[in-house]
Chains A and B, each alone.
Chain A
């Protein structure tokens, strides 16, 4: 589903250039549930940006579901993000002035789907995350766990190729974190490819595979069995 070949990325800060990704190779298969771990400064966020088509890379190749993602213009990038990728963020990032169902329906708005139709689809997805009764509540009236479930419903609604979750449990307590991870597992069970960026071993352990990134390169991929020794910055 995802194939990265020797991805390089540097940022110029003033006169200096900061080489962040130094030839990243990565292969994620269709229907995999993986986590990406790494300390701050490891290039984890940059990798996430590139995977999410939010940033460009300098050299290498990025294939998403067989499509080469390279040198896209802004409009094309926006279209690919909309159709291929579902985002889940640490701070939920719901629009505060829209209720749950409108938030879920928003990606469909950018596909030009009519209001009635997209709200009907949004209700289906809210039902899948168990929030039918909360459909017309504003985000400020929802708990953290509920907000994240709304965000997941929003990520799923376009039926994307991958779900990218950036620290999805970072703002949640452990019980709610478990609920959210269970939801991810259910989604995974239906065949969705999921990538979770986290710094919590506990969360990473619930995924099928852990990808560690360190100093701009992928550490030797470790299998779930021998990862309890993993360190965290």
Chain B
């Protein structure tokens, strides 16, 4: 294997017609290069989109109320109703597969009228009444202070955790917001924490303009009594969110005298479904990339096989001489297969290096704020596997020419001069 003569001969054969060798190698190079670039781009797209989900629990779902569309138990259709505090315990009691049950209420939103004031500064922000558990469903990076806790909820404290953007609008640069008061719809709250969103794009923007206050405080301060706007619920590990969703929705329908078949009265949205759909899409894209990439690679390998056949043709007399003076057939075949493997491996290696290099360059150029495209890289293991596949492909490409070489009759080869 590490015989100097063998490598020397491989070098001599391949360098006898440099342009042809280069063009052949380019086919393989291009195949692997394209495969790496495509895989990287696919990963970039996937990373970009999954980053949009942030650390959002993908086993969560939401459910809210809407007008009924069917009459039931003496109630007419078109009836308005709300979830209430007693639903919280009812869900916990009747649907044991639900892990976190977080009731929520919302006041105002991003882009609405100005509802939050501090001194001369004011802004329009989404104000949410929440259980501390909400932070296990959506995660936020706390910059300063703390998040809500159970005591805030129990004692109905007037405290608020605000988004980064809220701080920028209401406070001067360098000012410490912790302990300061802000006025929400005429009620004063004390700021206890500032957070950053872990999501990207619009969703991240929306988070940054949010203010979280205790659920109990929210109901009291804004006269919601025991109304629950909507629920954010997660399933326990290894339980499908869709399964829990169905149970919770039918329980809530029963509790609020809604027809079990009413399609709109209890709205729900399942992140797991969305997430799975998205992942299915990416699996599809990935399969497509592999098919196209392997096709391109195959074309390059066939090119190598082709050129090896021509080389055999040119070397008929040389192979004849070698066989006449006693080269074992295996030795001749090995030489040709090795040449093929060397050509494909070197070309493939350069394709790999350049592909990964370009992906790295693109990755560092777009940095963090890449929108729907983030961190376009290829697993090292995938890269090495494709190189390994290439080496085998090279050996395979050398087999047909090697077989052809073995069929050369020495005496005929020697005499065709």
Contact = CB atoms under 8 A, between A and B. Distances in A.
- Binding partners A and B: yes
Interface of A: 45, 48-49, 52, 54-55, 74-75, 78-83, 87, 89-91, 93-95, 97, 106-107, 109-111, 115, 154, 158
Contacts of B327: 78, 82, 110
A93 B317 contact: yes
Contacts of B329: 74-75, 78
7 closest A-B pairs by CB: A82-B326, A91-B417, A74-B329, A81-B326, A78-B328, A93-B321, A107-B325
Contacts of A74: 328-329, 406
B247 to A, nearest CB: 73
Interface string B301-321: 000000000000000011011
A91 B406 CA distance: 22
A49 B4 CA distance: 33
Contacts of A89: 414-415
A145 to B, nearest CB: 17
Contacts of A158: 326
Interface string B7-46: 0000010001000000000000000000000000000000
A83 B326 contact: yes
A91 B325 contact: no
B403 to A, nearest CB: 12
Interface of B: 4-5, 12, 16, 317-318, 320-331, 406, 409-411, 414-415, 417
A79 B329 CA distance: 10
B326 A52 contact: no
28 contacts: A45-B411, A54-B410, A54-B411, A55-B411, A74-B328, A74-B406, A75-B329, A75-B330, A78-B327, A78-B329, A79-B328, A81-B323, A81-B325, A82-B327, A83-B326, A87-B324, A89-B414, A93-B320, A93-B321, A93-B414, A93-B417, A97-B12, A97-B16, A106-B322, A109-B5, A110-B328, A111-B326, A158-B326
A79 B327 CA distance: 8
A110 B325 contact: yes
Scoring A79, A81, A115 by chain B CB atoms within 10 A of each residue's CB, the highest score goes to: A81
B129 to A, nearest CB: 85
A158 B326 CA distance: 10
Contacts of B414: 89, 91, 93
Contacts of B409: 54-55
A94 B324 CA distance: 12
Contacts of B411: 45, 48-49, 52, 54-55
A52 B411 CA distance: 9
A82 B12 contact: no
Contacts of A80: 326
A158 B327 CA distance: 13
A75 B323 CA distance: 10
Contacts of B318: 95
Nearest to B4: A115
A29 B329 CA distance: 31
Contacts of A55: 409, 411
A52 B325 contact: no
B328 A87 contact: no
Nearest to B16: A97
A79 B328 CA distance: 7
A39 to B, nearest CB: 17
Contacts of A106: 322, 325
B16 to A, nearest CB: 8
Nearest to B321: A93
Nearest to B326: A82
A78 B326 CA distance: 4
Nearest to B410: A54
Nearest to A106: B325
Scoring A74, A78, A79, A107 by chain B CB atoms within 10 A of each residue's CB, the highest score goes to: A78
B198 to A, nearest CB: 64
B323 A78 contact: yes
A106 B8 CA distance: 14
A95 B326 contact: no
B17 to A, nearest CB: 13
B12 A52 contact: no
Given A79-B328, A90-B415, A110-B326, 12 more contacts: A75-B329, A78-B328, A81-B324, A81-B325, A89-B415, A91-B414, A91-B417, A93-B417, A95-B318, A97-B12, A110-B327, A111-B326
Nearest to B416: A91
Contacts of B410: 54
B277 to A, nearest CB: 60
Contacts of A81: 323-326
Scoring A55, A81, A93 by chain B CB atoms within 10 A of each residue's CB, the highest score goes to: A93
B324 A54 contact: yes
Nearest to B320: A93
B336 to A, nearest CB: 15
B326 A107 contact: yes
Contacts of B12: 97
Contacts of A110: 325-328, 331
Contacts of A45: 411
